[in-house]
Amino acid sequence: MNDTPAPTSEKHNAPASEQQMRDAMVERLIELGAARSGRVVAAFRSVPRHLATPEVDMAKTYEAEFAPVTKTDATGVNISSVSAPRIQAMQIEQADIQPGMNVLEIGSGGVNAAYLAEMVGKQGRVVTMDIDHDVTQRAEEFLKATGYDRIVTVITADGEHGVAGHAPYDRIVVTVQAADIPPAWVHQLKEGGRLVVPLRMRGMTRTVAFVRDRERLVSDGFELCGFVPMQGVGENRVRLVLLHDVEEEEIALRLDGHPEPDAASLRVALGMPRVEAWSGVTVAGDESTEHLDLWLTTALDNLPLMAAKIGARKRGLVGSASPIGVPTLVGGDSFAYRTARPTDDPDRYELGAIGHGPQGQKVADRLVEEIQIWHSDHRTHRAHIEVHPAGTPDDRLPAGRLVDRPHTRVTITWP
């Protein structure tokens, strides 16, 4: 039960059908494990999120996985959206927000700020910011219409710098993909405070709950996620290297600090017959490979993601197609990507690799070797992630995969 009265109670009386939609959404969030605590459940039952996107069918806005895009750039790339309810609930659970807290949200939209307002209650404060005036204007209109403007302050500014005037914060929740952690986020966070951020590490994004320990951040859990990338000073997007550029069949490597590939040789490799390697390791049909993929990027140096449109799979160019990308080990003129095949058990799939190029079998075997190591040594483990200031000497960092960014040195380690 919500222990803080909903700020909307005076201004918004929901018709039965609307409340039923919210209740059905909440039940789905509970089923998915995204909403676990009573206070988060109550918050999601209270906010009329459909008012933030009046151009979208009301029923769609209450679907757990639906994220309406609210703005695209000149090239058609999505630059602003209202995150799906599942993602919002997951991040708010990670943040562990208590009544009376002071919370900064970086990346606005209005709906998530309203949930945060429910969490902090009338004695708390939420500051939500975005670099885009169109986004903050929409947020202001929604928050005013629903009464949450009494708790939420909306600011138009570059999230790279935070909002020093309202600091320090008990919690900072970032709702855009970030490749780095600006110093302002650490310095404006209270000692022991929590920063929840969709952090991109070597192409793979996880929303990580960090706890501040003086100048470093220490992970306290993470979840798989997807967000639009940060804009402004902190913008650092992945770079695409096309291997196949036929419309609706595009295949590309997503580079995020990985070595520059021999693209011409890899294009030739793609046209060569595939080879396969299988690990004997199986996963359930609904089992995520997020921890395996994080292990692979920890263990292997040259592992970008290969993104492919569905047309590429239909043409038989690749065995798996994902717009986000699958881990792909590059070895000179050859490459191999993670895949899976059915087993005799209808709910189990065997993990393996498909290779292309003169050294395709060797590269596929190497990828499979790490899948087997993950299974035998780390399957029950979870990675530990730390963020240290740039310039921290190597001997003061945990041993493991190091990701250097302009502001920070990120480490991924395993037990």
**CA–CA gap between residue 307 and residue 328 (Å, rounded):** 10
Q: Is 38 helix (H, G, I), strand (E, B) or coil?
A: helix
Q: CA–CA distance from 200 to each of 136, 178, 196 (Å)? A: 24, 6, 13
Tell which residue, 220, 171, 219, has the closest CA to residue 195.
171
Backbone angles phi, psi at 249, to 5 degrees: -125, 15
Active-site residue (options: 46, 80, 83, 279):
83
Residue 74 main-chain phi, psi, to 5 deg: -65, -25
3-state secondary structure of 375: helix
Instruction: Select from 252, 97, 116 the least CA-distant residue to 170.
Output: 97
**362 SS3 class:** helix
Mapping DSSP onto H, E and C, the string for 93-162 reads HHHCCCCCCEEEEECCCCHHHHHHHHHHCCCCEEEEEECCHHHHHHHHHHHHHHCHHHCEEEEECCHHHC
392-413 burial code (b ≥16 CB/10 A, e <16): beeeebeebbebebebbbbbbb
Residue 164 CA to residue 159 CA, distance in Å, equals: 11
For residue 322, indicate whether it is catalytic. Answer: no
Q: What contacts 101, CB < 8 A, 6 or more positions away?
A: 119, 120, 124, 125, 170, 171
Q: In what order do the strands lie in the sheet with 275-284?
A: 239-244, 251-255, 305-308, 326-331, 334-342, 348-356, 275-284
Return d(Cα 88, Cα 68) in angstroms, integer. 13
SS3 content of the chain, % helix, strand, coil (to 5): 30, 30, 35
DSSP state of 65: T
Residues carrying an active site annotation: 83
